[in-house]
Chains A and B, each alone.
Chain A
Amino acid sequence: MPVLKNIKAIAKGMSITFMEMFQPTQVENYPDGPGPLRGARFEERYRGMHVLQRDENGLEKCVACFLCAAACPSNCIYIEAAENTETNRVSGAERYAKVYNIDYNRCIFCGYCVEACPTDAITHGHGFELASFNASNLIYRKEQMLAAAPAHMGANAVFNSADVAGGAPALPVQGS
Chain B
Amino acid sequence: MPDVTLTVDGKKLTAPAGTLLIEACKSAGIEIPSFCYYPNLSLQGACRMCLVKIEKMPKLQTACTTVVTEGMIVTSDNEEVRQARKSMVELLLGNHPLDCPVCDAGGECELQDMTFSYGAAESKYMEAKNHKDEQQWSPVVFFDRPRCILCYRCVRVCGEGMDVWALGVQNRGVSSIIAPNKEDHLECEECGMCIDICPVGALTSGAYRYKTRPWEMKHVGTICTHCGDGCKTTLGVRRSDSGMEIVRGDNRDKSGINNDFLCIKGRYAFDFAHHPDRLMQPLIRKNGKLTPANWEEAFELIGKRFAEIRDHDGMIGVVGSSRITNEEAYLLSKFARVVLKTNNVDHHRTADFPALAAALSGKPDSTATMREVYDAPAILLIGNNPTDQHPLLAWQIRNNVRLHRSRLYLINSQTIKLGRQAAGFTQIPAGTEGKVAAYLAGDDAAVEAIITEKNSRETWNALREKLRGEQKLVIIFGSEIRGNDVAVLVKFGSGVHGAKFVCLADYANSRGAADMGLYPDLLPGYHRVADTGKFHDEWTSIPATTGLTLPEMVDAAKASKLKALYVVGANPIGRLGLDPFLFSKTFVVVQEMFLTETAFMADVVLPAANAYEKSGTFTNTCGDLQILKKAGEVTGTKSDFEMIVRIADAMGFDVHKLVPFGAGERTDMGQSRGAQSGEADRHAVWLEARGLEPKMSPLEPTAILDEIQRLVPGYDFSRINLLAGNDQHTTLANSGPGAIQKPELIVPANDNLFSSGTLGRYSKALHSVMESRTQQTSEVAAD
Contact = CB atoms under 8 A, between A and B. Distances in A.
State yes or no: do A and B touch (Cβ within 8 Å): yes
Contacts of B99: 93-94
A110 interface: no
B211 interface: yes
B102 interface: yes
Contacts of B216: 66, 69-70, 79
B101 A67 contact: yes
Interface string A105-125: 000000000000011000000
B539 interface: no
Interface string B177-213: 0000000000000000000000000000000011111
Contacts of B100: 65, 118
A94 B106 contact: no
Contacts of B215: 66, 70
Nearest to B106: A65
Contacts of A95: 102, 210
A94 B133 CA distance: 12
B212 A66 contact: yes
B542 to A, nearest CB: 53
Nearest to A95: B210
A65 B210 contact: no
A82 B210 contact: yes
B209 A83 contact: yes
B144 to A, nearest CB: 9
Nearest to B99: A93
Contacts of A70: 213, 215-216
Interface in A71-118: 79-83, 93-95, 118
A94 B213 contact: no
A95 B213 CA distance: 11
A123 to B, nearest CB: 16
A81 to B, nearest CB: 6
A63 B102 contact: yes
A67 B216 CA distance: 10
A81 B211 contact: yes
Interface string B18-41: 000000000000000000000000
Contacts of A64: 102, 210
Interface string B208-233: 01111101100000000000000000
Given A66-B216, A70-B215, A81 B210 contact: yes
B102 A65 contact: yes
Contacts of A94: 99, 102, 210
Contacts of A66: 212-213, 215-216
Contacts of B101: 63, 65, 67, 93, 118-119
A83 B210 contact: yes
B285 to A, nearest CB: 38
Contacts of B213: 65-66, 70, 81
Interface residues of B, number: 12
A83 to B, nearest CB: 4
Q: Is the interface of B mostly helix, strand, loop or mixed?
A: loop
Nearest to B144: A94
Interface in B503-557: none
Q: A81, A82, A83: which has the most chain B beta carbons within 10 Å?
A: A81
A122 B102 CA distance: 16
B444 to A, nearest CB: 65
Contacts of B212: 66, 80-81
Nearest to A121: B101
A3 to B, nearest CB: 76
Interface in B79-104: 99-102
Nearest to A84: B210
A95 B144 CA distance: 14
Interface string B721-734: 00000000000000
Contacts of A81: 210-213
Interface in A32-84: 63-67, 69-70, 79-83
Nearest to A119: B101
A81 B102 CA distance: 10
A50 B631 CA distance: 33
A135 to B, nearest CB: 19
Interface string A7-41: 00000000000000000000000000000000000
A77 to B, nearest CB: 11
Nearest to B245: A80
A18 B319 CA distance: 96
A66 B209 CA distance: 14
A80 B217 CA distance: 12
A118 B106 CA distance: 13
Interface in B311-328: none
Contacts of A93: 99, 101-102
A119 B215 CA distance: 19
Contacts of B211: 81-82
A70 B210 CA distance: 16
A8 B211 CA distance: 77
A92 to B, nearest CB: 10
- Pick from B100, B102, B213 the residue with the most CB of A within 10 Å: B102
B106 to A, nearest CB: 7
Contacts of A80: 212
Nearest to A93: B102
B148 to A, nearest CB: 16
Interface in B385-431: none
A140 to B, nearest CB: 18
A135 B46 CA distance: 58
B236 to A, nearest CB: 13
Interface string A133-144: 000000000000
Q: Which among A70, A79, A82, A95 has the greatest number of chain B C-beta atoms within 10 A?
A: A95
Nearest to A66: B213
Nearest to A70: B215
A114 to B, nearest CB: 15
A99 to B, nearest CB: 10
Contacts of A65: 100-102, 106, 213
Contacts of A83: 209-210
Nearest to B212: A81
Nearest to A69: B216
A74 to B, nearest CB: 16
A54 to B, nearest CB: 17
A30 B305 CA distance: 71
A161 B334 CA distance: 62
Nearest to B211: A81
A61 B11 CA distance: 51
A101 B100 CA distance: 22
B100 to A, nearest CB: 8
Nearest to B204: A94
Contacts of B106: 65
A7 B209 CA distance: 82
Contacts of A69: 216
B201 to A, nearest CB: 10
A126 B213 CA distance: 30
A80 B239 CA distance: 10
A83 B206 CA distance: 11
A95 B209 CA distance: 9
A150 B204 CA distance: 34
A23 B209 CA distance: 61
A119 to B, nearest CB: 7
A130 to B, nearest CB: 25
Contacts of A67: 101
Contacts of B102: 63-65, 93-95
B723 to A, nearest CB: 29
8 contacts: A64-B102, A64-B210, A65-B213, A66-B213, A70-B216, A83-B210, A93-B99, A94-B99
Given A66-B213, A82-B211, A94-B210, 13 more contacts: A65-B101, A65-B106, A66-B216, A67-B101, A69-B216, A70-B213, A70-B215, A70-B216, A81-B213, A82-B210, A83-B210, A93-B101, A93-B102
Ordered nearest first, which 5 A-B pairs have the shortest CB separation? A65-B101, A95-B210, A83-B210, A66-B213, A93-B102
Interface of B: 99-102, 106, 209-213, 215-216
Interface of A: 63-67, 69-70, 79-83, 93-95, 118-119
